[in-house]
């Protein structure tokens, strides 16, 4: 199942602030399951990419210390009509992509 | 004799399990260019050295770090790093000094992006949040203490 991303963005004077909410547990692998004494297996988003019209603008690497259901905001140079894409993957190989055409 | 062969058998299966584990783990670490060394580093200096090749960052007022003075829930601490006042920002890293693995996230910016990041991070206890900005080959930083109150009533 693909990772769910909700994104918003508006261009103002050539700069667009892109905000995204991602649905993901972000399990760091350090949290213990008190019943079994074993840690919950790690599952966190490690790579995030934001591109404008297919050109990579932001390339991020995350650890398990980013909060669960991560919120991310970045600013990119883009005008109305440009297409902004966020694509990401987690350490188990699950991926997610979401695109938005700026207004 | 029986006992001996039984031991041998368990040893062999144990070794096989290790091999399978290793086999399962290697592809993901090899394929991804995720900076494992930096994220596994136990100190902020080690993490910075692994990311930028140097841990010598100078404090700068142009790196605007917005973090709460008191975080009631350390698991969702909102952090904003605004380095739009600096030209040629190449990268921003956010570190939580006393987390077991201090490096939280690292953003690299292309020509089409501004040096601005807002996110939420997990913090285990009261500690300093450090934002490091790489611009024009130099490392600049801003640091702020965030008090984490766990399980209390926000006191």
User: pLDDT tens digits, residue range B26-55?
Assistant: 333 344 478 888 998 889 999 999 999 888
At B105 the pLDDT is: 94
Q: Are residues B97 and B110 in the same domain?
A: yes
Which pair of structure tokens corresponds to residue B30? 């090899």
Q: Are residues B21 and B84 in the same domain?
A: no
Q: Are residues B99 and B143 in the same domain?
A: yes
Taking CB atoms and an 8 Å cutoff, what residues of chain A touch B117?
72-74
Q: Are residues B19 and B71 in the same domain?
A: no
Q: Are residues B44 and B66 in the same domain?
A: yes
Nearest Cα of chain A lies from the Cα of B104 at a distance, in angstroms, of 5
Nearest to B118 by CA among A13, A84, A11, A75: A75
- Interface check for B91 against chain A (CB to CB < 8 A): the answer is no
At B89 the pLDDT is: 92
Domain count, chain A: 1
Residue B87 placed within a domain: yes
With the C-alpha atoms ordered B48, B54, B88, A61, is the resulting torsion angle positive or negative?
Answer: negative
H-helix segments, chain A: none
Contact B35 A74 (CB under 8 A): no
pLDDT higher than threshold 80 for residue B23: no
Q: Are residues B73 and B137 in the same domain?
A: yes
Q: Are residues B103 and B126 in the same domain?
A: yes
Host domain of residue B24: 1-31
If you average pLDDT over every residue of chain A, what do you get? 92
Regions in chain A scoring below 50 on pLDDT: none
Give the C-alpha separation, B72 to B59, whole Å.
27
H-helix segments, B32-101: 36-40, 44-52
Q: Are residues B73 and B119 in the same domain?
A: yes
Residue B142 placed within a domain: yes
Q: Which of A19, A50, A61 sits opposite B106 (nearest CB)?
A: A61
pLDDT higher than threshold 60 for residue B13: no
CB B135 within 8 A of CB A101: no
A56-84 tens-digit pLDDT: 999 999 999 999 999 999 999 999 999 99
Which pair of structure tokens corresponds to residue B140? 């600049």
State the complex-level ipTM.
0.90
Residue B119 placed within a domain: yes
B119 in helix, strand or coil? strand
**Residue A2: φ, ψ to 5°:** -70, 150
Nearest to A44 by CA among A102, A98, A89, A12: A89
Residue B15 placed within a domain: yes
Domain count, chain B: 2
């Amino acid at each position: 199942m693909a990772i769910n991303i909700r994104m918003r963005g508006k261009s103002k004077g050539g700069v667009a602030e892109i905000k995204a909410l991602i649905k993901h547990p972000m399990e760091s692998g350090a949290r213990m399951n008190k019943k079994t004494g074993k840690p919950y297996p790690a599952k966190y988003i490690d790579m995030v990419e934001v591109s404008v019209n297919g050109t990579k603008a932001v390339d991020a690497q995350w650890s398990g210390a980013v909060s669960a259901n991560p919120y991310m905001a970045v600013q990119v140079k883009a005008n109305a009509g440009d297409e902004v894409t966020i694509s990401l993957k987690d350490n188990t190989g699950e991926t997610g992509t979401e695109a938005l055409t700026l207004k | 004799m029986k006992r001996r062969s039984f031991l041998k058998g368990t040893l062999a299966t144990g070794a096989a399990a290790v091999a399978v584990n290793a086999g399962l783990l290697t592809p993901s670490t090899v394929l991804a260019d995720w900076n494992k060394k930096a994220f596994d580093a136990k100190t902020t200096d080690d993490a910075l050295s692994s990311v930028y090749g140097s841990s010598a960052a100078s404090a700068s007022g142009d790196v605007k770090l917005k973090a709460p003075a008191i975080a009631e829930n350390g698991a969702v601490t909102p952090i904003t790093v605004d380095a739009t006042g600096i030209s040629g920002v190449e990268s921003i890293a956010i570190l939580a000094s006393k987390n077991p693995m201090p490096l939280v996230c690292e953003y690299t910016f292309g020509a089409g992006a501004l040096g601005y990041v807002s996110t939420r991070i997990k913090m285990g206890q009261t500690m300093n949040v450090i934002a490091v900005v790489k611009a024009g080959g130099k490392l600049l930083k801003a640091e702020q203490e965030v008090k984490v109150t766990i399980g209390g009533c926000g006191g």
